[in-house]
Structure 1
Amino acid sequence: MKKLIAAALASIALCAHADGLQALETFVKTARTGRADFTQVVTAPARQGQQARTRTSTGSFEFSRPNRFRFDYRKPFAQTIVADGRTLWLHDMDLNQVTARPQSQVLGSTPAAIIAAAPDLSSLRKDFDLANAPDRDGLQWVQATPRVKEGQLTSVKVGFRGNDLSVLEILDSFGQLSVMKFDHLQLNVPVPGGAFDFKPPQGADVVRQ
């Protein structure tokens, strides 16, 4: 009986100290669909004689693995980003402009590939060096560093609470830090396929890259 109790306690201890890579692997393997609300705070580096500037956005996020996701920014400006499996669409409603890019050319080394697109960890390792980062703020962290150094993305840190996605921290080559926090996360819930359909609004200026 003592051995059984000791084994159970050891198992609990291992689960309690699961690292970020374990959490990421579990999330990628088991989270086939999901939705959440998000708050994003972008901080631009301070210029000489000026303080750092921040801007805050809020919206919602949905995904269906692999390769389909949708970010709907609502405040302060309406903007939609949709990956339908073939094309990555960005719709700026204030400008009434739509940008379309082949998804296969741009998605692999983006933060969205980590949380919504990649089917498994081995796929992510083709584009990122993955490593555990120290626990912080009650979360387990993974640092993802792009293998291609010429892009605008410098690093991504992903924070998990247990196996649930909690925070993305994105640092770009200009020193700009974007922190996206997820709330009301629901995993493996029905997400209508139509959520990832996008048709440019009539009269919108469409730029294909």
Structure 2
Amino acid sequence: MIKSLIAGTALALASLAAHADGLQDLERFLKEVGSARSGFTQVVTAPKRSNESVARSKTSSGSFEFLRPNRFRFEYTKPFEQTIVADGETLWLFDVDLNQVTARKQQEVLGSTPAALIAAGTDLRALGEVFELKAAPARDGMEWLEARPLARDGQLQMVRVGFRQGQLAVLDIEDTLGQRSVLTFTNWEGNARLTPERFRFQPPPGADVIRP
């Protein structure tokens, strides 16, 4: 009887550990995943207008990489080419069709963005000084976290982060204008061998460089 009780308790504890909530998944993600690469698909849906029966949406895709702290790279390949690179100091946006580069100080634009949740340092408490973080109910085979910026003067309304078996799977982003952007990650490779050089960006010759 005692042995059965002990065995049952052990199984229950193991089950609880295996089904951690989204907040616990985020904490482990920050501590255990220092870099990653993956593919992604992004669907952006605009608010439905009064004369529309269906909301308008656009789909794009490409590749994503990050290296802690505060380095990441989005390479959009479809339907148009665009590169977004954060090197730790500067956020670069390169529009291939326009041959135009926009460079901004990273510290000024990334404080309370979805990128800060992914590629920041390893301290969950530091994120808690920027976002209100709370676990959300599990759905679609994922554990979820909700993050709301504590500063209400930006465009970001909320980010829902989905983890599947502890691996980052979805970012569901809502802005204050009602636009929704859902990024789904594929072929995730955690702790990929990446170096800071991968996140250095040099504007192409002849490109128009704008520094707002």
Q: TM-score range by the shorter chain?
A: over 0.9
CA distance in 1, matches of 2:67, 2:42: 21
1:189 equivalent in structure 2 = 192
**Within 2, Cα distance between the matches of 1:79 and 1:120?**
31
Does structure 1 conserve the Cα–Cα contact (< 8 Å) formed by 2:110 and 2:116?
yes
Aligned to 2:174: 171
Distance (whole Å) between structure 1 residues aligned to residue 154 and residue 80 of structure 2: 26
Structure 2: runs of 5 or more not aligned: none
Deviation at residue 3 of structure 1 after TM alignment:
4.8
| Equivalent position of 2:148 in the other structure | 145
Structure 2 Cα separation of the partners of residues 174 and 104 of structure 1: 24
Task: Quote how far apart the aligned CAs of 1:4 are.
Answer: 4.6
The yes-or-no answer on 1:8 pairing with 2:17 is: no
DSSP-derived class of the 2:92 partner:
strand
Deviations 1:130-155 (A, max 9, x none): 01111111111100000111111100
CA RMSD of aligned residues (A): 1.2
- Which residue in the other structure is 1:99 paired with? 102
Secondary structure of 2:157's aligned partner: strand
Inter-partner Cα distance in structure 1 for 2:68 and 2:123:
10
- Equivalent-residue separation in structure 2 for 1:76 and 1:131 (angstroms): 35
Q: Number of residues paired by the alignment?
A: 209
Once the two structures are superposed, the pairs formed by residues 115-134 of structure 1 within 5 Å of their partners are 115-134=118-137
Match of 1:81 in 2: 84
Shift in Å at residue 8 of structure 1? Answer: 2.8
Matched, 1:49 2:51: yes
SS in 2 for 1:48: coil
2:205 to 195, 202, 205: 202
Distance 2:149 2:23 in 1: 16
Runs of 4+ residues over 2 Å off in structure 1 = 1-8
Q: 1:7 Cα shift?
A: 3.7
* Structure 1 counterpart of 2:20: 18
1:107 aligned partner, one-letter code: L
